[in-house]
Amino acid sequence: MTKLRAEVDVDAPVSQVYNQWTQFESFPEFLGAVKSVDQIDDVRTLWNVSIAGREHSFYADIVEQVPDRQIAWQSTDGKFHTGRVDFTPNAEGTHVALEMEWEPEGLLEAAGAAIGIDDAQARTDLRRFKEFIENRGSATGEWRGEIHGGVEDSRPGEQSGSVGA
């Protein structure tokens, strides 16, 4: 099992940073290994990634999502992958902390994880995310719903938001 943690401070308000992170289909613009993400519904996504020259596809479900605070996910088939990103307001704008865990497949992925290539890529990806959101000045969309235990929390009288708004 491989684990990593990467962090970055973004010069933008927490709601703007969080809103951008909810736009999974924009991930290929700043996440190096991600080729595409399809938002199936509010909870389910389909990821296509390229790792060590090998293409992988897997479904991941959002298991926890609280606006301006946290998004956590877990793969449901294919490549084992789990993670979370926390958003914390600070003097610079927003502190973003990413944690991921996955099972490397094959010698190249295991070697890359062992020598820290994955950690370096995560730090680079977060810097690219920071540049993306700071240069844009606004998020490409937002989704303000809540998910707990993999189920959307749709309380009466509250609006959950919309994917790709």
Residue 112 domain flag: yes
Residue 15 domain flag: yes
CATH number for the domain harbouring residue 75: 3.30.530.20
Q: What is the number of domains present in the chain?
A: 1
In the chain, the percentage of residues whose pLDDT exceeds 90 is 61
Residue 54 domain flag: no
What is the distance between the alpha carbons of residues 121 and 31, in angstroms, rounded to a whole number? 9
Task: Quickly state the pLDDT bin for 106 (edges 50, 70, 90).
Answer: low
Q: 44: burial class by Cβ within 10 Å (0-12, 13-18, 19+)?
A: middle
What is the distance between the alpha carbons of residues 142 and 98, in angstroms, rounded to a whole number? 19
CA-wise closest residue to 33 among 54, 4, 7: 54
The per-residue pLDDT for 153 is: 79
pTM of the model: 0.85
Long-range Cβ contacts of 134-137 (<8 Å, 24+ apart):
134/10, 134/11, 134/12, 136/20
37 CB neighbour count, 10 Å cutoff: 19
Task: Quickly state the pLDDT bin for 15 (edges 50, 70, 90).
Answer: very high
- Residue 159 above 90 pLDDT? no
Range of the domain at 13: 2-23+63-150
Q: What's the mean per-residue pLDDT of the chain?
A: 86
